Amino acid sequence: LFAGDVAFLKGVVAMDGLPPADRIEVCFAGRSNVGKSSLINALTGRRSLARASNTPGRTQEINYFTTPGGPYLVDLPGYGFAEAPVAVVKKWQALLKDYLSGRQTLRRAFVLIDTRHGIKAVDDEILTLLDKSAVTFQVVMTKADKVSVKDREKALAQVREALAKHPAAYPEIVLTSSEKGDGIETLRALIASLE
Ligand code: GTP
Ligand code: MG
């Protein structure tokens, strides 16, 4: 599925700019700087396909990537804190919400949670939006390399508990490190199995 020809298709700034809904898609959502773009790079084995950066708010458009014969991969702008002008942030947050609640072909939303921080109030807001929109979401824990095994377990427990009140949650949580490669193959297989 991800061998070779994953390609950037387009950056979208408004709902009417979305590509034709001619196949399924999965998206990567999460707080600014959680590691969405890095995860797409790790999944596709391409170091700089999606733009990753230390500056929160780096991804400011909905970025579409095509996979040969597979779903679109969709890199979303982060929510929460961003180093960008307020008016700009407001615009892309509105687009993010419209996208998450209104894209018919969105098969699964991967919601990324930093293993060091767990689920915050802003995450919960997004999860509730996904519940209301009946979009199945799955939590992907990121930056697992930055915490001890003990703290990983703590983070997983917190997330499990938080997911209990979200009907749209897919129960399996995937622990990943884009840096070290943990969980990447698992996530690839998972995406490849979606129909
Ligand atoms: P926005 O587009 O700004 O919302 O951010 P993003 O969620 O796309 O995050 P991005 O992939 O740009 O990563 C943010 C920072 O975290 C970068 O400095 C990455 O190198 C770092 N990072 C991402 N994933 C990992 C990981 O698994 N391990 C470690 N140690 N660092 C990571
Ligand atoms: Mg990004």
Q: Which ligand is nearest the CA of 31, by number?
A: 1
Give the pLDDT confidence of 72-86 residue by residue, as tens digits.
Answer: 999 999 988 777 788
The pick from 110, 178, 182, 184 for probing ligand 1's pocket by mutation, whose C-beta has the most ligand atoms within 8 angstroms, reads 178
What does the pLDDT look like over 166-179, one tens digit per residue? 999 999 999 999 99
Q: What is the DSSP letter of 31?
A: B
Query: From CA 84, how far away is CA 100, in angstroms rounded?
Result: 22
**Token pair for residue 71?**
């779903």
The best mutation among 39, 46, 53, 147 to test binding of ligand 1, ranked by most ligand atoms within 8 Å of the C-beta, falls on 53
Domains contained in the chain, CATH given: 7-192 (3.40.50.300)
ipTM score: 0.99
Question: Residue 179: which of 35, 5, 29, 78 has the closest Cα?
Answer: 35
